[in-house]
Amino acid sequence: MTTVASRKNFKVLSDNGALAGLLVLVVALSLLAPSFLTTQNLLNVGVQAAVVAVLAFGSTFVIVSGGIDLSVGSVAALSAMVGAWSSAEAGLPGPVALLLGLATGVVAGLVNGALVSYGKLPAFIATLAMLSVARGLTLVVSQGSPTTTPDVVTSLGSNLTPYLPVPLLVMLVFFGVTGFVLSRTYSGRAMYAIGGNEEAARLSGIDVRRQKLVVYALSGLFAAVAGMLLAGRLSSAGPQAAVGYELDAIAAVVIGGASLSGGVGRATGTLVGALVLAVLRNGLNQLQVSPFWQQVVIGAVIALAVLLDTLRRRTR
Amino acid sequence: MLLEARDIGKSFTGVRALDGVDFDVRPGEVHVLLGENGAGKSTLVKVLAGVHQPDTGTVERHGSLAVIHQELTLVPQLSVAENLFLGRPPRRFGIVDKARMRQDAKALLDRVGLDVDPTTPVRNLGIAGQQMVEIARALSLNAQLLVLDEPTAVLTDTETDRLLAIMSELRAQGVGLVFITHHLDEIRRVADRITVLRDGRSVGTLPGTATVEHMIELMVGRTIDEQYPRRRTALGEVLFKVEGLTRRGAFHDVSFHVRAGEVVGVAGLVGAGRTEVVRAAFGVDPYDSGTVEVAGRKVPAHDVQAAVRAGLGLVPEDRKGQGLVLTSTVGDNLGLVTLKSSTKAGLVDRAAQRSSAAEMAKSLRVKTSGLGQQVRELSGGNQQKVVIGKWLLADPRVLVLDEPTRGVDVGAKVEIYELVNRMTAAGRAVVLVSSDLPEVIGMSDRVVVMAHGRVAGELPAGTTQDKVMALAVQEFPA
Amino acid sequence: MKGMTKMKFRGVAALSAVALAALTACGSGASAGGGGEITVGLAISTLDNPYFVALKDGAEKAAAELGVKLTVVDAQNDATNQVNQVQTFTTQGVKAIIINPVDSKQAAPAAKAAENANIPLIAVDRSVDQGKVVSEVASDNVQGGTLAAIELGRAVSGEVVHLQGIPGASAARDRGQGFEQGLNSGGIKVVASQPADFNRAKGLDVMTNLLQANPGIKGVFADNDEMALGAIKALGDRAGKDVAVVGFDGTPDGLKAVEDGTMAATIAQQPDVLGRKAVEQAVKAARGEAVQEVVDVEVKVVTKKNVAEFKK
């Protein structure tokens, strides 16, 4: 009995290199840092993973369909800023401001998608341009200063009960949404086909261009949600918020076993990837690793996680 | 003996790929390795080359071995000479000696009978020339043993002739050759010995003079009554009509039609414009003028989705590049065309997709461990069945098959022909584009022959290869 | 082939025209004053940070009052970018250049470019390590760090944590150094020092994590207000009650937190004064008048008592 069970567990782990890596990290940190394995700290990790995780869920769509979205950090900042500005400066009601912020993300994503699918721009270039434009617009809207968020956004960053932080909840909801979209919807199935072989998808009658629009719009929407979470946690939207988060998001997706050449990737993998990054940062703080070494360690872990996964695939 | 392998056994995760196989190669002989896809040929080659360690048995090699794969390993941007000496260019004073490299390259190219300037970029060569460069590179490494893994699958007839001639030449030079091919007629032209593999076992070694029937019988373990089992049905209305289709520089004024229950073959030399025409008709590429009709209704140009809605289907010539999503499973690939029709309000009915895919896989006899298996793990013939299967699920009125049996073994070929019969029996129309003349003659009810982008003529069923070729080489006034 | 090149050229030309028009349209916002004969270039490290925005605002106000034209460029924290921008200034006929270096150590080429063009260079907020600078307008970060330690020691005693800026950045170095120098005067002990990159969100996360390992801390010093505000978020109700937070910079949000009592103190750098003084020195240099080699802008400890003076 036990051998069967343990063999099954082993299979789950060997099928998912990132999950194994996460468990190794958690065990190591539990041994090294006495305060790591406490309910409160694990909740903290979840909350800290939330922003990158939601960004990464959006990026999962993009990467599965064979693209890349470098603009998600900037779009997150812009969406949050538009939301905060609409309420604080333009005096709109909070929920309306929130919706405006989310719409901003969708519009930015649609522009990305249009540039990629109709403009035939490489995704790297189109979204790199958006990275700059969105960050610039954030500065224009904010005039360089942080802006207070409406209550409805702030509540996104707070706790429902002491043991139920909203960001964690939002992360789990979007995890479910991502899994559902990928496995059950037409767009999700089309993403795998387009990312795996765009020509074969097109020759099978899939509307590749429209689906790409959907993909980038989803990425923009998720970025906006992540931006709201980030702003909510700080009660303010900052012009410098989420700088460089796109790389964390991409790292999370890839750690989770997705292939940057498209066609492969899952919501669970991405969640694990985001948790790996958050656990790592949390642990490095608690172990008080020298600031100069922290970036080295994070980079090494990213490389190691992906390497393990690649090796596992190769030996199959 | 250049190579002696005894009692080779090899398993992968519990699946027995090779079981007690003996295989040897003498200097100066062509030893053909024959078997259906999945019989264990590739595994055996990998064991011989030392890529895989056998679980049981021994491999003794006297001399170095080079494998020429179907997928070439050249760097397309580099010149022929640079490819030949990749990683080990002749140097003088530490600097690449280009003059000597060109000279040495020329000598090597002469040996394989390839008459090109060594400074030509490899990508300008065409697939046959690239193969010659690969062979020349192997020779430059003093390979005494050459394994040619399905080299002729991508070659035209003349190119194949040349390759076979070079093989005979190399044999005369004392090189030992292992030759893998699905074209049984080629075997009769070069083989000294033929070893047949089936389900991982060696089922016999025949002399080079063995009959085709004998080879097939050993390969598939049963006799195949007919190589081309076309069953004709009564013809109905015109289902597919291409009228005056023209794209400047590619094809000109191409017209043909196919009736319900009919198979129309499209023959011609490579470059005659056959693939270009069917791609354009299916909406993949644009055209300048002309019309395409399905069951009397015009299909809009350059719109694949409209073509699919109108009831057209295309099994493209490049299976891996255009037919399959290799990163996905068998089930997902089977469900690709019907993804849209099984979607309601954005949600895919996955259960229905799964059950219809399972049914299709079963009825096509796709050899797979299940719908969840990665499609890239299947053999070529089974992959092709998946591509055809995804279209059968959509039940198109007109199915265009572009080189449907290329790289597919004999057994699977016959099964694909049976699928064609099934389609026409159900009142559908089939367009069969093929470079395999016996196939296009044997399976078609009419043959349209193309040359230089035009329809050169039409021949009835049961025509001869000579008649087809006469039309195919026809010249048109410019 | 030829037609193609021409078409491409036309495309590029059209694009350039659009870009130029856009620049002119936006440019009005970047340059204040106008009308004066003297143009001063201000190369700012980044406008992603309210502190530097305040510095820019102060500079623009001073320029308007003095009747000179001020051209502002933003290096977006990229030292190479900044060198290019200063080089561009030298070809635009500016009479003086104010540089707010992205990095003190990497500003030498910019100084060299100004020197070669015989244009006086004024450094603001951060110094230029190598090269000729006619005037340096700065507040003393080291002194500010020391003041922060003293203020924190005055507010609490016991264990404290230090949230550091971007590892290796000069402001982080200087403030950290000053903070450590000021420690021996009070009854506080640093139990953890971790980087949060001058960023509010990171301040929140790092503080949360440090709290987990050190629940009993009494105080926090952050190298800037943004991180301090993140730490206050992490502390929740404890901020201002049993944990004292000291920030640095005196940004509007920071001052508000001092006023609200969640932040015990911040070290106000008066960025607007820095900007104003830099422009004043630049105009003097441009007119050939004598300039002050070192202009010290006072660093002030802001607490609830005197916060009103700083809120404008």
pLDDT in tens, C183-203: 886 789 999 999 998 999 999
- What is the per-residue pLDDT across C23-52, written as a single tens digit (0 to 9) for each? 555 544 444 334 447 899 999 998 877 789
Count interface pairs A-C at CB distance under 8 A: 89
Please identify among residues 277-316 of chain B the ones whose CB lies closer than 8 Å to any CB of chain A.
282, 284, 304-305, 307-309, 314, 316
CA–CA distance, B61 with B145 (Å, rounded to integer): 9
Note the pLDDT of residue C34. Answer: 40
Contact B8, B57 (CB under 8 A): yes
- Mean predicted confidence (pLDDT) in A270-292: 89
Q: Please, which residues bridge with residue B433 across strands? A: B266, B402
Interface test with A, best of B338, B339, B376, B391 (most A CBs within 10 A): B339
Between B314, B332, B347, which is nearest A203 by CB? B314
Residue B130: pLDDT over 50:
yes
Q: Is the dihedral of CA A46, A51, A53, A54 positive or negative?
A: positive
Note the pLDDT of residue A316. Answer: 45
CA–CA distance, C94 with C121 (Å, rounded to integer): 11
C-alpha distances in Å from residue C281, one per residue of C66, C114, C134: 11, 16, 9
B445's CB contacts (< 8 A; 6+ apart) are B230, B232, B235, B262, B263, B264, B461
CA–CA distance, A89 with A236 (Å, rounded to integer): 13
Residue B296: pLDDT over 60:
yes
CA-nearest of B79, B77, B136 to B111 is: B136
B188's CB contacts (< 8 A; 6+ apart) are B208, B209, B210, B212
* Percent over 70 (pLDDT), chain C: 88
Q: Please, which residues bridge with residue B446 across strands? A: B264, B460
CA-nearest of C276, C153, C167, C278 to C219 is: C153
Residue in B closest to A262 by C-alpha = B327
Q: Where are the alpha helices (DSSP H) in chain A?
A: 2-15, 17-32, 39-64, 72-88, 94-117, 123-142, 151-156, 166-184, 186-196, 198-203, 208-234, 245-255, 267-286, 291-315
Provide φ and ψ at B440, rounded to 5°. Answer: -65, -35
Other C-beta atoms lying within 10 Å of the C-beta of residue B231: 12
Q: Residues B20, B21, B23, CA angle at the centre, nearest 5°?
A: 150
CA–CA distance, A67 with A262 (Å, rounded to integer): 7
Q: Burial letters for C65-84: b for 16+ Cβ neighbours within 10 Å, e otherwise?
A: ebebbbbbbbbbbbbebbbb
How many Å lie between the alpha carbon of A143 and the closest alpha carbon of chain C? Answer: 8
Please identify among residues 128-167 of chain C the ones whose CB lies closer than 8 Å to any CB of chain A.
164, 167
Residue in B closest to A206 by C-alpha = B305
Please indicate whether, in this complex, the C-beta atoms of A186 and B340 are within 8 angstroms of each other. Answer: yes
Residue in A closest to C77 by C-alpha = A240
Strand residue runs (E) in B281-371: 289-294, 297-298, 312-315, 343-344, 347-348
pTM for the structure as a whole: 0.76
Strand order in the sheet with B398-402: B312-315, B398-402, B429-433, B263-268, B446-451, B454-460
* Percent over 70 (pLDDT), chain B: 98
Residue A107: pLDDT over 80:
yes
Residue B185: pLDDT over 90:
no
- What is the per-residue pLDDT across B160-184, written as a single tens digit (0 to 9) for each? 888 898 889 889 988 999 999 888 8
CA–CA distance, A139 with B453 (Å, rounded to integer): 59
Contact C274, C297 (CB under 8 A): yes
List the structure tokens of A314: 């190769």
- Mean predicted confidence (pLDDT) in B92-111: 84
Note the pLDDT of residue A214. Answer: 97
DSSP class of residue B370?
Answer: -
Please indicate whether, in this complex, the C-beta atoms of C48 and A40 are within 8 angstroms of each other. Answer: no
- Mean predicted confidence (pLDDT) in B292-314: 95
List the structure tokens of B439: 């196939």
Other C-beta atoms lying within 10 Å of the C-beta of residue B213: 12
Chain A interface includes C226 (CB < 8 A): yes
How many Å lie between the alpha carbon of A199 and the closest alpha carbon of chain B? Answer: 5
Residue C16: pLDDT over 70:
no
Strand residue runs (E) in B316-443: 343-344, 347-348, 398-402, 429-433
The number of helix segments (H) and strand segments (E) in chain B equals 15, 23
List the structure tokens of A194: 């387009």
- What is the per-residue pLDDT across A110-142, written as a single tens digit (0 to 9) for each? 999 999 999 999 999 999 999 999 999 998 998
Chain A interface includes B21 (CB < 8 A): no
Other C-beta atoms lying within 10 Å of the C-beta of residue C24: 9
Contact A279, A252 (CB under 8 A): no
3-state secondary structure of B230: coil
CA–CA distance, C56 with C77 (Å, rounded to integer): 15
Contact C139, C269 (CB under 8 A): yes
Between C209, C213, C233, which is nearest A233 by CB? C233
Please indicate whether, in this complex, the C-beta atoms of B348 and A264 are within 8 angstroms of each other. Answer: no
**Which residue's structure tokens are 């954005």?**
B346
List the structure tokens of B171: 């044999």
DSSP class of residue B79?
Answer: B
Contact B33, B407 (CB under 8 A): no
Q: Please, which residues bridge with residue C214 across strands? A: none
- DSSP letters for A176-208: HHHHHHHHHBHHHHHHHHHHH-HHHHHHTT--H
Chain C interface includes A59 (CB < 8 A): no
**Which residue's structure tokens are 């590029």?**
C12
Residue A11: pLDDT over 70:
no
Please indicate whether, in this complex, the C-beta atoms of A292 and C193 are within 8 angstroms of each other. Answer: no
- Residue B95's H or E segment, with its range, is strand B95-96
Note the pLDDT of residue A31. Answer: 92
Provide φ and ψ at A227, rounded to 5°. Answer: -60, -40
Residue C100: pLDDT over 90:
yes
Residue A240: pLDDT over 50:
yes
Please indicate whether, in this complex, the C-beta atoms of C167 and A291 are within 8 angstroms of each other. Answer: yes
Contacts of A239 in chain C (CB under 8 A): 48-50
Residue C225: pLDDT over 50:
yes
Note the pLDDT of residue B477. Answer: 62
- Residue B358's H or E segment, with its range, is helix B350-363
How many Å lie between the alpha carbon of A147 and the closest alpha carbon of chain C? Answer: 9
- What is the per-residue pLDDT across C130-186, written as a single tens digit (0 to 9) for each? 888 999 998 888 889 999 999 999 999 999 999 999 887 777 888 999 999 998 867
CA–CA distance, A35 with C211 (Å, rounded to integer): 10
List the structure tokens of C190: 């640093």
Note the pLDDT of residue C27. Answer: 47
ipTM value, please give it: 0.87
Q: Mean of the per-residue pLDDT values for chain A?
A: 90
CA–CA distance, A171 with A157 (Å, rounded to integer): 12
Q: Where are the alpha helices (DSSP H) in B173-229?
A: 184-190, 212-220
Note the pLDDT of residue B125. Answer: 80
Chains B and C touch, contact meaning at least 3 pairs of CB atoms under 8 angstroms apart: no
**Which residue's structure tokens are 């949360």?**
C208
Chain C interface includes A144 (CB < 8 A): yes
Confidence bin at B99 (pLDDT 50/70/90): confident
Between B307, B325, B343, which is nearest A193 by CB? B325
List the structure tokens of C294: 């070192």
Task: State which of A199-213, A284-298, B197-211 shows the largest mean pLDDT.
Answer: A199-213
Confidence bin at B39 (pLDDT 50/70/90): confident
Confidence bin at C1 (pLDDT 50/70/90): very low
**Which residue's structure tokens are 């719109």?**
B303
Between B308, B324, B347, which is nearest A184 by CB? B347
Contacts of A263 in chain B (CB under 8 A): 325-328
